Amino acid sequence: MKKLLSAALVASLAFPLSGFAQGSLKIGTVDMNRAFKEYNKTKDAEKKINEAKDAAKKEYDERADGYKKALDEINKLNQQLETPALSADAKTQKAKERDEKITNIKNMEREINEFRQTREQQLQQQALRMREGIVQEITDVVMEKVKANSMDLVLDKSGMSLNGVPLVLYSRENAEFTNDIISALNKPGRAEAAPAASASPVASPKKP
């Protein structure tokens, strides 16, 4: 989030600095991180991503259960093969059956790992696309405010410097317009121009 939003700050520094000398520079501050968290579409996006994660976990668990059952069958066959009373023909048949199951379970393990990796990447990409859409929407609303009020410079007060120091140490209360941005974003009936985003990390299912 900070990396994406830092571009807005860099862009703001491109404004001519002649206004400082004239004393007419109009500056505003906005908390982009707060706007992101309090935007209703962000909450909706988190719900969608969590639903997708739950669906992926359910499918993964089903595959893992099948793997465990197959492993139990192999263990049972191994126990039967150790039975002294088992005839040679029966041992040969059960050994063949066990070897086939071992081959199948290796394929299952490979498929499970591939499924986990693929689904994790899909969820990460989905979350990133939705997040970028949210950030763009917020930026667009900020720019509308900038143009409407003829602002010369806008700083993101949630940003931090490389030294971990807030980029905006102080600003007058009337320079802050985060509430206006959040109200505009959450205004009933507002046209939804972009997909929602998610701030939730994508968790990897555990291996069986």
List Cβ neighbours of 205 (8 Å cut-off, separation of 6 or more). 56, 57, 60, 61, 116, 119, 120
- Summarised one tens digit per residue, pLDDT across range 115-170 is 999 999 999 999 999 999 999 999 999 999 999 989 988 888 888 777 777 777 77
| Closest CA relative to residue 1, chosen from 203, 197, 186, 196 | 197
The domains of the chain are located at 2-185
- Summarised one tens digit per residue, pLDDT across range 13-35 is 444 444 444 457 888 889 999 99
pLDDT of residue 208: 41
List Cβ neighbours of 2 (8 Å cut-off, separation of 6 or more). 33, 158, 159, 160
Mean pLDDT of 179-187: 93
* Residue 25 and residue 187 in contact, taking contact as beta carbons nearer than 8 Å: no
| Cα–Cα distance measured from residue 193 to residue 115, given in angstroms and rounded to the nearest whole number | 33
